[in-house]
Amino acid sequence: MHVKQIHLFKLNKEEFVKIQHILQPKINLSPTIPLNSINTCAGVDLAYWEQNGEPYGVCSIIVIDADTKEVIEKVHSMGKISVPYVSGFLAFRELPLIIEAAKKLETEPDVFLFDGNGYLHYNHMGVATHAAFFLGKPTIGIAKTYLKIKGCDFEMPENEVGAYTDIIIDGEVYGRALRTRRDVKPIFLSCGNHIDLESSYQITMSLINQESRLPIPVRLADLETHVLRTFYQKNHG
């Protein structure tokens, strides 16, 4: 898969801020692909560990058939993490491995779903949103925990499959608290880029089964990163 080179990553915090402010006006929250033409969906997740005092990470991308839910392709990348963790700028830390893994894809997924936030972010630039500028594809953010912005809490959705409450901050919809299964905690859905919230919701709900509150490709990528992390911890030295 072709991946664009938008910017470098070994930058300081001031440069992180500058890049987010440059990219933010270019976010497109309108639908760019009809729902009935989505054939493949990719899940993206990362896992980290320390080895000899150095941080390492692994990124898994798993592509499934949107109809059959069967795995079509899976790729991964592993390496030393060179960008330190800075709150609000996680994408700069994760994107090098995401890009490296995406370049290995023979399939070109119609939509990417990330284990992380998208528009639901301090500067609307969570990893799902930021990654879209490199991938050139619609992206969706699926967070397992709530990122509180400007002190705003979310309203718990009803305990029904598909129930949601919009997360509104300063009069703007940042995302949705979404109940994908009864009697389990909600996930936090937000647009990434090149997609609208309703399409993100429909795609996400179409990828839920009884095994997890997470969409299938995100859950599979999450499981795979744990397997890969264990493997590399034992075999990489």
Taking residues 193-209, report their average pLDDT.
97
197 domain-assigned: yes
How much is the average pLDDT of 173-180?
A: 98
Mean pLDDT of 26-36: 94
Helices (H), the chain: 13-23, 90-102, 127-135, 197-206, 216-235
Which pLDDT band holds residue 54 (cuts at 50, 70, 90)?
Answer: very high
Which CATH number do you get for residue 166? Answer: 3.30.2170.10
Task: Tell me the binding residues.
Answer: 45, 115
Q: Cβ of 1: how many Cβ atoms within 10 Å?
A: 18
Q: How many Cβ atoms from other residues are within 10 Å of residue 34's Cβ?
A: 8
Nearest to 199 by CA among 218, 176, 233, 217: 176
The DSSP code sequence of the chain is: --------S---HHHHHHHHHHHGGG---S--S-GGG--EEEEEEEEEEEETTEEEEEEEEEEEETTT--EEEEEEEEEE--SPP-TT-HHHHHHHHHHHHHTT-SS--SEEEEEB-SSSSTTS--HHHHHHHHH-S-EEEEESS---BTTBPPPPPPSSTT-EEEEEETTEEEEEEE--STTS--EEEEEEESS-HHHHHHHHHHT--TT-SS-HHHHHHHHHHHHHHHHHHHH--
Range of the domain at 203: 13-147+154-235
Question: Does some domain include residue 190?
Answer: yes
Q: Is residue 217 part of a domain?
A: yes
Q: Look at residue 7 and tell me if it is in a domain.
A: no
- Provide the number of structural domains found in the chain: 1
What pLDDT is attached to residue 44?
Answer: 98
Residues flagged as binding site for Mg(2+):
45, 115
What's the pLDDT at 87?
85
CB 54 within 8 A of CB 80: yes
| Least confident residue range of 95-109, 163-177, 223-237 | 223-237
In a domain, 140, yes or no: yes
Angle between helices 90-102 and 127-135 (to 10 degrees): 40
8 domain-assigned: no
Comparison of pLDDT for 236 and 172, the residue scoring more: 172
In a domain, 231, yes or no: yes
- pTM here is 0.96
Residues 121-151 have pLDDT tens digits of 999 999 999 999 999 999 999 999 999 999 9
Position 9 confidence tier, pLDDT thresholds 50, 70, 90: confident
84 belongs to a structural domain: yes
pLDDT class for 24, splitting at 50, 70, 90?
Answer: very high
